[in-house]
Structure 1
């Protein structure tokens, strides 16, 4: 079973994907802009600005993720566009939360100031949405494409992972 988990920054995609992967003992594929930035020895935010200027980085990232997922029979792919890019996914999960909740999570993880993280989150949402629409014609706010939509605002990562695992078990039964 290939499981695709998507959501905007700060929704817990990486954490939840990792928990689901570990619980089901499926390989985790979570290759992100952070990985590409590290490969290119660049600051993450500088890399994001560069990606706004050229679609090649999004296309490379998305191509590599799908290739990694298709090399596996069972896997968990966690990325912003996983549910759209991995057409062969057996379960498509979208995690959602307000920009304020997501900024608070990023602030706790990365520090800085909450106001700075909120502004970055809103700007990143705006830029990501415009980029995905331009490159692929994807509206990353449209959750109708997902099999399962989870509002993560009041849930712990383990609770979110358990909801996904329960759905997987139902589908495999």
Structure 2
């Protein structure tokens, strides 16, 4: 009945790492970011535009976060998202934070989404500013405070597979000691 929450900076590898970790653990995978992107597509707006809309329409974040909590309560899941670990603070067995140098993150986003590095850098800065402002306003959560995380990994110089190896070792040990593995 394990619950693993993975949060972190934009383009730090959250989705890639969480998906592979879920595979290794034979857990379900839930991406809060994908839920958010789905809403953007349904509304016919860009991801950045949905971030702007969400700054005044708190129902968007609340709906996505409630879905994450509901999925966590079902257990045996890896949930990733910017706010996932904060929202699942009392439910998650392990809370993991991924970070990386902003230039490396902008290169990753550029490659992934076919944008220029400058566009990617601008998008990351805007998204992170929007996320921080919204979460402070809606929940009183400062996403720059990572003090409650169980494991923080800088993915700047480590490939995704190695990051998953590190997390898998940590998570499997914690779950074993909690009698959940």
- TM-score of the pair, normalised by structure 2: 0.89
Matched, 1:135 2:167: no
Cα deviation for residue 40 of structure 1 reads 3.5
* 5+ residue gaps, structure 2: none
Deviation at 1:127, TM superposition (A): 1.4
- Residue 17 of structure 1 corresponds to 18
Aligned length: 172
CA deviation digits over 1:21-43, x for unaligned, max 9?
Answer: 00111011113211222343433
1:45 alignment partner in structure 2: 48
How far did 1:99 drift? Answer: 2.0
Work out whether residues 31 and 81 of structure 2, in 8 Å CA contact, stay in contact via their aligned partners in 1: yes
- Alignment match, 1:36: 39
Q: Retained in 1: the 8 A contact 2:6–2:14? A: yes
In the alignment, what sits opposite 1:105?
Answer: 108
Partner SS state of residue 160, structure 1: helix
What SS class does the counterpart of residue 112 from structure 1 fall into?
coil
Distance 1:62 1:117 in 2: 25
By how many angstroms is 1:59 displaced?
A: 0.8
In the superposition, relative to structure 1, how do residues 45 and 126 fare at CA in structure 2: closer, same or farther (>3 Å)?
A: closer
Which residues of structure 1 form unaligned runs of 5+? none
**Are the counterparts in 2 of residues 95 and 150 from structure 1 also a CA contact under 8 Å?**
yes
Post-superposition CA distance 1:75-126 (Å, at most 9, x none) = 1011111111112100000001122221111011012211111111112111
Cα RMSD after superposing both structures:
1.3
